[in-house]
Amino acid sequence: MARQDKREREEHDSEFVDKLVHINRVAKVVKGGRRFGFAALVVVGDQKGRVGFGHGKAREVPEAIRKATEAAKRSMIRVALREGRTLHHDVEGRHGAGKVILRAAPAGTGIIAGGPMRAVFETLGVQDVVAKSLGTSNPYNMVRATFDALKREDSPRSVAARRGLKVSTLQARRRDNDEAPAAAAEA
């Protein structure tokens, strides 16, 4: 019975893609000198709108990565994607000195983002996005700022539910507002 549960858990875990974002050698100073260890930052996602990040520390690199991966799987969030490929709207996020700006992009744009943000988008399943990071280049703060922005992402369905409207009504209003400035410019 336990063996079957373990096999099912392994099959469930195999649906996730994990990316090692950063590995850092850390030292603890003791009486006899320094003891070295490793800290790992890992991003895990199912490429269908769920993503999480984790941090793990250990004496050996593989153990630190394993701990970080487990932590990432426990802290996953769901992000609503438009057409399963991009964000619904532009959004900003920040953490510490890190600030990120994420913009929805048309099909075929690709992932235009640097380092840690690229890993988040690849594991999330986003195919078209333009992202800019301002401030710090610390991978921990960049990943946390990206997650802050993704948590602020709203789908039209959730906005409509919050306002007590139908999605079609909400989108019709948006279309009317988009056409009004164009008509004013022509006149």
**pTM of whole model > 0.85?**
no
- Spatial CA neighbour of 92 closest among 46, 50, 130: 130
Whole-number pLDDT of residue 13: 57
Query: Taking the domain 80-186, which CATH number applies?
Result: 3.30.230.10
pLDDT of residue 162: 86
Count helices and strands in the chain by DSSP H and E runs: 6, 8
What was the pLDDT predicted at 185?
Answer: 65
Domain span(s) for CATH 3.30.230.10 in the chain: 80-186
- Angstrom distances, CA of residue 175 to CA of 84, 168, 171: 21, 10, 6
Residue 80 near residue 114 (C-beta atoms within 8 A): no
**What pLDDT score does 14 carry?**
65
End-to-end, the C-alpha distance of the chain in Å comes to: 74
CATH number of the domain located at residue range(s) 2-77 in this protein: 3.30.160.20
116-139 burial by CB neighbour count: b if 16+ within 10 A, else e?
Answer: bbbbbbbbbbbbbbbbebeeeebb
The amino acid sitting at 128 is D
Going residue by residue through the chain, which has 187 residues, state the pLDDT in tens, using 9 for 90 and above.
Answer: 555 555 555 555 568 899 999 999 999 999 999 999 999 999 999 988 899 999 999 999 999 999 999 999 999 999 988 888 888 889 999 999 999 999 999 889 999 998 899 999 999 989 999 999 999 999 999 999 999 999 998 888 888 888 888 888 877 776 776 676 666 666 6
Note the pLDDT of residue 155.
83
Residues of the chain with CATH 3.30.160.20: 2-77
Q: To 5 degrees, how large is the angle CA 181–CA 110–CA 171? A: 35
The pLDDT of residue 183: 65
